[in-house]
Amino acid sequence: MRKADALRVLLCLLLACLAGFAHAQAPVAAIPDAPRIGVVTMGPGEIFWERFGHDAIVVDDPALGERISYNFGFFDMEEPGFIGRFVQGRMEYMLVALPLAQDMQYYREVGRGAGIQWLQLDPVQARQLAADLAENAKPENARYRYDYYTDNCATRVRDAINRVLGGRLQRELDGRSSGDTYRGESVRLASPALWMWLGFDIALGPYADRPLSRWEQAFLPRRLAEDLREATNFDGRPLVASEQELLPQRQAAEPEPQARKVMPWLLTGLALAITIVAFARRAPRSLAAFASLFWLLCGCIGLVLAFSWAFTDHRTLWANRNLLLFNPLCLLLLPGAFTLLRGRVPTQRFGMLLKVVMAVAALACAPLWLQGLSQRNGTWIALLLPIHAAFAWAWANARRTHA
């Protein structure tokens, strides 16, 4: 019996060893590799909505077999009501997920450069960001209310990264500022197109002149790329692990900032004012023709500024003090200009209206000293106030001459 018991014990031990060996050899389900996350930044283009550049988030997931670009910059101009929503400041953009090679095709064709920053995220952060983007890209979640400055393609990329970092990116950027403003950045980037540069500078109100934090300034793709280079993850490692050029920039690069000088505008305004006074006697009809165009332009621009403030959601256009210079009342001066064109003397009402327009333009100087709600429109005051004053003086002198 003892010998039989010993054999049974040995047999049990042998079976246990074999079972353990078999278990050790059984395949274990492998944990999939975490995706690699990158931010691709595209250079500026020639079309006006391309002037500010663009960006997207790239997910390089081995399980997918290709790099996917999550691009927040898609819109459809053929969509019913798009133009109306654009005017009102209520347009909608959408997030589209597409292969990176396909996304880069357009930029390659038009010569816009692109570079990618590969982020140093831990596996949990990378998987979370990839999952969030995939969920956001679903048709029922893809659309969002677009704002040029506070909710655009770059701020969406910034916010998505900030969420997986637990708010760390915003904490690093909120307390820093380069002193730049929405106006300064907009005018700089629009400067290659004169009409666009003038349009931004005239249309933007005081909201566009407050200094921006680096977090707010990341509404521009290039600024966001610069900030990502300096950002860190929780463990203190740089957020950007490496950078790679995808496409060379064959179009003009972003313009550099330029100093804003008032004196050339003032000298131009004074020169035009002197010319107006001189032509009042020598060529009154030629002056009336110029005045008609000037008042028509000022009045129409003023109506646009007033409409933008009263009836749209474009917050950066509200309370625009250029409305005092581009006065809609100028349209009421046109009948008097037509009277001058016919060689006749306009009524006293015309003269009073000219003085009102000049006085309102002079009021634009008062808010220049308001520290809390300043608007950088000194150049437009320097240019237009002398012209309004010269027209009022020239008409009064003409009245005295005819009397």
Structural contact between residues 166 and 196, judged by C-beta atoms closer than 8 angstroms: no
- Residue 63 pLDDT level (bands cut at 50, 70, 90): confident
Share of the chain above pLDDT 90, in %: 74
Distance CA 96, CA 161 (A): 17
Distance CA 55, CA 214 (A): 17
> What DSSP character marks residue 385?
H
Distance CA 245, CA 7 (A): 72
Triad 151, 111, 216: Cα angle to 5°: 20
pLDDT, one tens digit per residue, over 146-194 is: 999 999 999 999 999 999 999 999 999 998 998 999 999 999 999 999 9
Q: Which CATH architecture has domain 36-177+213-247?
A: Alpha-Beta Complex (3.90)
- Residue 25 pLDDT level (bands cut at 50, 70, 90): very low
Is 258 or 219 the better-scoring residue by pLDDT?
219
Residue with tokens 């969030």: 132
End-to-end CA distance of the chain: 147
Mean pLDDT of 6-19: 49
What's the chain's Rg over C-alpha atoms? 32
> What DSSP character marks residue 177?
B
Other CB atoms within 10 A of residue 272 CB: 17
pLDDT, one tens digit per residue, over 222-261 is: 999 999 999 999 888 999 999 999 999 999 989 988 888 9
pLDDT, one tens digit per residue, over 367-402 is: 776 655 689 999 999 999 999 999 999 877 655 444
182 burial class (0-12, 13-18, 19+ CB within 10 angstroms)? buried
Question: Is the pLDDT at 403 greater than 80, yes or no?
Answer: no
> How do the domains of the chain map onto residue ranges?
36-177+213-247, 263-402
What dihedral do alpha carbons 139, 142, 146, 150 form, nearest 10°?
Answer: 170
Distance CA 275, CA 393 (A): 12
